[in-house]
Amino acid sequence: MDKLLNKLRGPELVGQFQRLCGLSLLPEDNPAPRRSPQADRQAQPVCTRRVHTAPCRGDQTNTQHNGTVPGAPVPRKKYKIENYFLYYLFLFAATLGQEVFYITFLPFCYWNVDPYVARRVINIWAVVMYIGQASKDVLKWPRPPSPPVVKLEVRVDAEYGMPSTHAMAATAIPFSFLLASMNRYKYPCELGLLLALAICALVSLSRIYTGMHTVLDVLCGVAITALLVAASYPFWDVVETFQMENRFAPVLTLSLAFLLSIYYPELDHWSTARGDTTNIVSAGGGAALATWINHQWSLIPEPVSAPPYEMPSLSTGLIGRMCARFAIGIVIVFIARYLIKSAALTLVCWLAGVSPRDQEARKLLRVEVPYKYITYSCLGVVGLAGCPAVHRYLSL
């Protein structure tokens, strides 16, 4: 068993999977043919730290570092891509575990699918992600090193690896969506199960392909989430009833989100983990407050008849209203995010006695957690209470 676990935890399997998918490191002792400086300038791609936004022909350069060596020099390595279909497929799948996906997909479900389903998905997502992120900084297992692994991401490389929170989110969101909707709507559950499995598998494999996690990280992330979803499922209705009807629910939920962020496991070096976790639990707290507001003032009408309900036909008018709701809602969310973040950062930095332009000051606990908490708890209210109000006003 120890031998199997060591193999699953080792970087060799990651490197083998990458090479099988057509991604491999170029040897450093095999320099490219010499060319004139003018030819080099013409052929040089405009690459950024997020190298997947600027693919090169044949090979790319990527900055990377190991999360176990904070502050170490960042070496530049070259790698070769032989299968661009898998390259773009897995990079797209990796975005399904990032903020841009959460801030668009979860509100979309609330505005256009069913608030009942979306509320449950958001609750599970917030709990699962906090447990996963905190576990990383308790266990402190490093990410796979390079070489032999090619690393395609740099933003989260300073975080630890066990478990994979991408794999946890990719398990929590589709399967909680399936569990919340399968008895509420009439549709083939088998098809929903296949779709959930496909999303989970694709995102999980993307974390191995991008070189950010070992196979064991991914398997543990999926297994932990499966246990959490299964164990919590019988209590979903109880939790939502509390969020809607208890008059102390907003205070308790927001206080819990703040305390979990402040008392996040102590970091031995700064990484994006604490800030990202604060974003998630704060958004969950804001969503819970929006749930209470919507119920207390009857702002979200509930169906009169009992489930299961027929799936609506996708008419041109329905698709148009869905697109309009999403476009208007997402513009409001992104404008609110910019304004609230700027105001919160300025206020918190003023109270902390630091400059909001000081990037290092933003990493301080007394700055990072409060301004992110204010920003994303407010965004939860804006997205789940403010945007639906605008939709109703516009008769959408």
The reply to whether 213 belongs to the active site is yes
State how far the Cα of 8 lies from the Cα of 122, in Å rounded to an integer.
Answer: 31
Question: Considering 213, 269, 295, 391, which one is annotated as catalytic?
Answer: 213
The reply to whether 52 belongs to the active site is no
CA atoms within 13 A on the CB side of 240: 20
Question: Considering 52, 166, 269, 295, which one is annotated as catalytic?
Answer: 166
Q: Which residues are catalytic?
A: 166, 213
